[in-house]
């Protein structure tokens, strides 16, 4: 049974700082928008660019962060 609460229905989003320390793990764009003080539209656009590797990182409060998308095999 697919979980539509995950990013693109099957990915969780892990956020790391520039030292590769885990910052947080998120389920979807709404959580990303809330945590990083972005509008939902900005969050979805930013995540799409990260997912398709058009950009490699983003900044939040002058801190460079990287996002990795981990496929949840149970929902694919």
Q: Number of structural domains, the chain?
A: 1
Instruction: Give the pLDDT band of residue 69 (cuts 50, 70, 90).
Output: very high
User: Is there a domain that residue 40 lies in?
Assistant: yes
Q: Write the pLDDT tens digit of every residue in 4-63.
A: 588 998 999 999 999 999 999 999 999 999 999 999 999 999 999 999 999 999 999 999
User: Is there a domain that residue 3 lies in?
Assistant: no
User: Is there a domain that residue 41 lies in?
Assistant: yes
User: Is there a domain that residue 60 lies in?
Assistant: yes
The CA distances from residue 16 to 54, 59, 67, 68, 76, in Å, are 18, 11, 6, 8, 24
User: Is there a domain that residue 23 lies in?
Assistant: yes
Backbone phi, then psi, for 14, in 5-degree steps? Answer: -110, 135
User: Is there a domain that residue 57 lies in?
Assistant: yes
Looking at the DSSP assignment, which residues form a beta bridge with residue 60? Answer: 63
User: Is there a domain that residue 4 lies in?
Assistant: no
48 is in which domain, residue-wise? Answer: 11-75
User: Is there a domain that residue 2 lies in?
Assistant: no
């Amino acid at each position: 049974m697919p979980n539509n609460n995950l990013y693109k229905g099957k990915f969780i989003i892990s956020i790391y700082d520039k030292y590769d320390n885990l910052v947080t793990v998120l389920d979807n764009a709404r959580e990303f928008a809330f945590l990083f003080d972005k509008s939902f539209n900005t969050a979805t656009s930013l995540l799409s660019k990260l997912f398709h590797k058009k950009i490699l990182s983003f900044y939040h409060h002058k801190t460079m962060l990287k996002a990795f998308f981990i496929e949840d095999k149970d929902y694919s």
